[in-house]
Amino acid sequence: MDRRGISGRIAVVTGAAHGIGSAVVHALGELGATVAAVDVDADALAEVVATGAGEGRHVLACPADVADAAAVESVVERVESELGPVDLLVNVAGILRPGTVQDLAEDDWHRTFAVNTTGVFHLCRSVSKRMIPRRRGSIVTVGSNAAGVPRHGMAAYGASKAASTLFTKSLGLELAEHGIRCNVVSPGSTDTPMQHRLWDERGAEPVIAGSLETYKTGIPLRKLATAEDVAEAVVFLLSDQAGHITMHDLYVDGGATLRA
């Protein structure tokens, strides 16, 4: 018995070529969903699709830049035409360009918001207008615990994630009357290539321990999240098991933000 209600559903996952996005594609595929995998990195996306096919999962590669509204609309039209009505949307695509406000280039600021925030808007607008007449659907945006806690050198990233978080909750309020749920999963430090690019020769140790110098707490569980940890939270909120949950922000950070 499919208690999660995922089997047979059509899902769109952005940022699907790496890290958390790839893990979400894998998790949904294992549960029997057909997944349209969206990413700007066409080569890495092809590998994700090939891996899924080798394991008997149905994954369609849809190379696109989520910051491009026309490209997003084209992808969603293709998915609905070739696969069927989209039931599930997961916004994972994101970039991190660290730097203090004084040092951050304008292009880094604009590109961060173009992907992390405007990209979420593009996908949600395109998919939700098709979900509304069908009166069903579930949307999850992968945010960040940096959206709720100030971080040194991460003003652009945190602000973009805060914007996409509140956008998703507001969308959830608008779509509730149509039976469509919208939720957020906010990871902390996760063992992905994005995280690795922030490390020095000490690796994950300072991330787990925290830093008094930058006023950053450590991780009480004393370990990084895995991409699979985050994917499982995403799948839960997408699923029928979370059928009465909407506009929720689920932190998956090992307690790092000490949330009440």
Q: Locate 170 and state its tokens.
A: 């507001």
Rounded to the nearest 10 degrees, how much is the dihedral formed by the CA atoms of 190, 195, 200, 201? 60
pLDDT at position 2:
66
Q: Buried (b) or exposed (e) across 133-144, using 16+ Cβ within 10 A?
A: eeeebbbbbbbb
pLDDT at position 210:
85
pLDDT at position 6:
97
How many Å separate Cα 32 from the centre of its chain?
20
Burial (CB < 10 A; 0-12, 13-18, 19+), residue 100, is: exposed
- The residue ranges of every structural domain in the chain are 10-252
Q: DSSP class of residue 117?
A: I
Is CATH 3.40.50.720 the classification given to domain 10-252? Answer: yes
Q: Can 157 be counted among the known catalytic residues?
A: yes
Catalytic residue among 157, 165, 207, 249: 157
User: Is the Cα dihedral 217, 256, 113, 19 positive or negative?
Assistant: positive
Beta-sheet strand order (sheet of 88-91): 59-63, 34-39, 10-14, 88-91, 138-142, 181-187, 249-252
Per-residue pLDDT tens listing for the chain (260 residues): 466 899 999 999 999 999 999 999 999 999 999 999 999 999 999 999 999 988 889 999 999 999 999 999 999 999 999 999 999 999 999 999 999 999 999 999 999 999 999 999 999 999 999 999 999 999 999 999 999 999 999 999 999 999 999 999 999 999 999 999 999 999 998 988 777 776 576 867 877 878 888 888 899 999 999 999 999 999 999 999 999 999 999 999 999 998 75
Tally: H helices and E strands in the chain: 9, 7
pLDDT at position 74:
98
pLDDT at position 195:
77
pTM above 0.75, yes or no: yes
pLDDT at position 3:
67
